[in-house]
């Protein structure tokens, strides 16, 4: 009886060790699968490109809001370099090419010769087009596609979020005041893309 109990106990210990070993291997496999899926998603363009589009749309939305009904003392002109750094490559290359040059040319001609017909709200968009067209390759490719551009986007997003929270009178008010929720969500969306890029960098 003692020998049978000992064997049963030994078999139970062996089963527990095998189960723990299998669970550890399963955990390692799941981590590798998640890492590979994130890298695959970013290399296929789904993850990073989608978040770039989302961040650019959020920045454009905040810029439009600022020009219409969100007048604050925040430095919303920082959204222009943010859009420059976060525009997806397809849109960036179209606006940096001949199409963007024509838009910039027409904007400069209107501003120089017909200043009364050039609305104030178009100045920011004109600045963005000029920045896209005339920026040197170092900024347009090296900084924009590297860790420096992501860090600048993160800094701009954090700055705008803390300024918005301060202007609203606190974190709770930024979600309850008029226009507070849409502005807060828009600014938080600015942070998603740079955080995603940093996560991909460290996986």
**64-78, 89-103, 104-118, 157-171: segment of lowest average pLDDT:** 64-78
Contact 160, 70 (CB under 8 A): no
Per the model's pLDDT, the better-predicted residue between 21 and 44 turns out to be 21
Section 55-76 average pLDDT: 76
Paired tokens of 135: 């920026």
Section 34-39 average pLDDT: 62
Q: What angle do CA 40, 45, 49 make, to 5 degrees?
A: 130
pLDDT for position 82: 92
Per the model's pLDDT, the better-predicted residue between 198 and 29 turns out to be 198
Distance of alpha carbon 20 from alpha carbon 192, whole angstroms: 36
What's the pLDDT tens digit per position in 130-143?
888 988 888 888 88
Q: Is the predicted pLDDT of residue 155 greater than 90, yes or no?
A: yes
Distance of alpha carbon 18 from alpha carbon 24, whole angstroms: 10
pLDDT for position 7: 46
Per the model's pLDDT, the better-predicted residue between 150 and 173 turns out to be 150
Distance of alpha carbon 79 from alpha carbon 28, whole angstroms: 41
**22-36, 85-99, 176-190: segment of lowest average pLDDT:** 22-36
Distance of alpha carbon 138 from alpha carbon 140, whole angstroms: 6
* pLDDT interval class at 4 (50, 70, 90): low
Q: Is the predicted pLDDT of residue 18 greater than 70, yes or no?
A: no
pLDDT for position 163: 85
């Amino acid at each position: 009886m003692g020998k049978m109990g000992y064997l049963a106990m030994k078999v139970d210990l062996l089963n527990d060790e095998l189960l723990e070993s299998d669970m550890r291997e399963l955990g390692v496999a799941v981590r590798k699968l998640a890492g590979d899926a994130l890298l695959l998603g970013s290399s296929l363009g789904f993850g990073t490109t989608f978040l770039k589009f989302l961040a650019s749309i959020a920045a454009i939305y905040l810029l439009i809001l600022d020009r219409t009904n969100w007048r604050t003392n925040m430095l919303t002109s920082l959204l222009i370099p943010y859009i420059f750094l976060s525009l997806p490559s397809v849109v960036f290359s179209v606006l940096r090419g001949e199409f963007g040059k024509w838009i910039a040319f027409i904007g400069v001609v209107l501003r120089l010769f017909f200043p009364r017909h050039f609305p104030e709200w178009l100045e920011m968009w004109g600045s963005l087009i000029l920045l896209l067209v005339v920026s040197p390759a170092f900024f347009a490719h090296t900084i924009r596609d590297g860790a420096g551009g992501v860090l600048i986007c993160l800094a701009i997003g954090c700055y705008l979020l803390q300024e918005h929270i301060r202007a609203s009178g606190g974190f709770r008010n930024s979600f309850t005041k008029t226009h507070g929720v849409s502005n807060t969500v828009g600014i938080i969306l600015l942070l998603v893309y740079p955080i995603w890029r940093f996560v991909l960098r460290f996986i």
